[in-house]
Amino acid sequence: MSGLLNIVVITAAVALVFARQFKAQRVTSESKTWWLIPLVLTVMAVREPGLLDPVHHTASAALLGVEVLIGLACGVGWARTTRIWTDADGVVWTKGGWAAAGVWLCGLLLRLGLLGIAAAMGVHQGSATTMLSVAAMLLTRGGATLWRAQAAQQKYRVPVAG
């Protein structure tokens, strides 16, 4: 797959998830596909032949590891800044705010810094690296947010005396 198509896929996935975070979303039992976009991004990234720089294999792998760690940390930060509440009917809702957008911005700046370090070292990092990092971020955010939402739902349940 071409680098341009990878960039389009990354941008579309990020735009979709980022735009949806500012809208309150109901957490239901059907909220089981949170891992689908990260899975697609991971498969696309792993299938890409330029995931690691063949000339600087070790440095490229280390930079990839750091990029994935940045994605995981941003996913946790994003999940922690997502507001979760239960309405009067016991339905759990989630909504991201400007703090979540700040986590995105910090993650972007860290990734750009890492790209700069890679360029200074002469290590080529393609779009597949970014795709894998974004997949890690989305997977972590989705799982941690769902976990927090389920905890809020469990807290709300009150046994009925009967």
Q: How far apart are CA 148 and CA 122, in angstroms?
A: 42
pLDDT, one tens digit for every residue, the chain (162 residues) = 566 777 787 778 778 877 888 889 888 765 678 888 899 989 988 988 878 898 999 999 999 999 999 999 999 999 999 999 988 888 889 998 889 889 988 998 999 999 999 999 999 988 889 889 999 999 999 899 889 988 887 776 544 444
* 26 bridge partner residues: 93
- Assess contact for 23 and 145: CB atoms under 8 A: no
3-state DSSP of 42-60: HHHHHHCCCCCCCCCHHHH
How many CB atoms are closer than 10 A to CB 33?
A: 9
The pTM assigned to this predicted structure is 0.84
Measure Cα distances from 40 to 34, 136, 138, 146 in Å. 11, 11, 11, 19
- Give the burial class of 86: count Cβ atoms within 10 A of its Cβ; 0-12 exposed, 13-18 middle, 19 or more buried: middle
3-state secondary structure of 139: helix
